[in-house]
Amino acid sequence: MIRAVTCACRDSLAEMVRLPSGLQLVHCRACDLYARREAPAPRALELFYEQEYTRQFAAEQSGPRDNLQAHALRRIESRAARFRGVCDHRPGARRFLIDVGCGNGRLLELAQQAGWSVMGLDPSGDRNGKRRTGGIEIRQAAWPLTDISGHSADAIVFLNVLDHLPDPFTALQAAWRVLRPGGILYLRVPNGPFHLRLLTGRWSRMLSTMTVFHLYGFGRRSLQHFLTRAGFERIDIRTAPLSEGDAYANGEAGGMVRTLAKQALKVGYGLSACLGLDRLPWGPSIEALASKPEQAHGDVAHAGNLVDAGDGAGR
């Protein structure tokens, strides 16, 4: 059934998909993005992230995701060193990194220790001001911010954030505007096609507790489409490493199945990274590294794409 539903990529050709679990999605034929047919109202989303998200998932973010933060910074610094476009035009200046949805601020700490000037954004109220010691600023705010000038950041991070945002394309356009020419974008999201296979496959009933689907389900094709249209180049999309924790087990009956499956996936990721197979989007999460063109001018993102062969950090 085809309906004139406008996708987040701004295309209107979409089809309805009804899963055995009852979840109803909209699938865009233009960019391959999946989205929930019925999303919460914007204000309801704001209240959830301001009041409930931290309470439900704080434990999982307080240490089990440290490996993801360190990995993201390694990927960013590897690209910065490889292309040498970040900060080279400002002798003596400190590189500036923005972490959107910064959680407990661990990535900000790591980046500051590596010599970056940092700022974090998070909608949860109880994070505001917690880590101002050491020069780390965390603002209680959502992306995009209107008071950040264009061409001001050297790197922007969306770690498990983009699929939570009501308008991910606008978020990427804002990141393009704020980044300096040559600036780096890093993002990580659940791999939508992977989780949809779990929901529709032969073992869907047993594996459904492993699925993660927020507002959107991004895959390689949809990420490539969004990043290209937003004006980014050198786009490198691959399977992302797994976190050490599991925010969604919650001690349920399926928790043991999830734990065993996650351990198997960790082993699989380690082997695939050694063999270079992490460039294939086979795992439960994918990551993208992209750059703003070094010759970019103005605040209008010009589509164009140069697919990058990849950066070696994180191996």
| Amino acid at site 263 | Q
Q: Could you tell me if residue 138 is inside a domain?
A: yes
Share of the chain above pLDDT 90, in %: 34
Q: Is 61 helix (H, G, I), strand (E, B) or coil?
A: helix
Considering only CA atoms, which of 32, 14, 25 is closest in space to residue 224?
Answer: 32
Q: What is the pLDDT of residue 129?
A: 46
Of the listed ranges 54-58, 146-150, 187-191, the one predicted with least confidence: 54-58
Q: Could you tell me if residue 94 is inside a domain?
A: yes
Question: Which residues, 6 or more positions from 93, have their beta carbon under 8 angstroms from its beta carbon?
Answer: 87
Q: What angle do CA 124, 283, 225 make, to 5 degrees?
A: 75
Q: What is the count of structural domains for the chain?
A: 1
Tokens standing for 180? Answer: 């300096």
More confident residue, 222 or 280: 222
Q: Could you tell me if residue 11 is inside a domain?
A: no
Confirm if 192 and 222 have CB atoms less than 8 A apart.
yes
Confidence of residue 301 (pLDDT cuts 50, 70, 90): very low
Q: What is the pLDDT of residue 24?
A: 83
Is the predicted pLDDT of residue 37 greater than 90, yes or no?
Answer: no
Q: Could you tell me if residue 309 is inside a domain?
A: no
Domain that holds residue 237: 41-291
Q: Could you tell me if residue 150 is inside a domain?
A: yes
| Amino acid at site 218 | F
pLDDT tens profile 247-288: 555 545 455 666 666 666 666 766 777 777 667 777 789 999
Confirm if 293 and 223 have CB atoms less than 8 A apart.
no
**What is the pLDDT of the chain when averaged over all its residues?**
77
pLDDT tens profile 70-126: 999 999 999 998 876 565 555 567 899 999 998 888 999 999 999 999 999 988 765
Q: What is the pLDDT of residue 210?
A: 59
Is the predicted pLDDT of residue 136 greater than 70, yes or no?
Answer: yes
Q: Could you tell me if residue 29 is inside a domain?
A: no
Q: Could you tell me if residue 302 is inside a domain?
A: no
Q: Is 130 helix (H, G, I), strand (E, B) or coil?
A: coil
Of the listed ranges 3-7, 26-30, 293-297, the one predicted with least confidence: 3-7
Confidence of residue 185 (pLDDT cuts 50, 70, 90): very high
Q: Could you tell me if residue 184 is inside a domain?
A: yes
Is the predicted pLDDT of residue 313 greater than 50, yes or no?
Answer: no
More confident residue, 10 or 101: 101
* CATH number of the CATH domain containing 187: 3.40.50.150
How many whole angstroms separate alpha carbon 111 and alpha carbon 299? 27
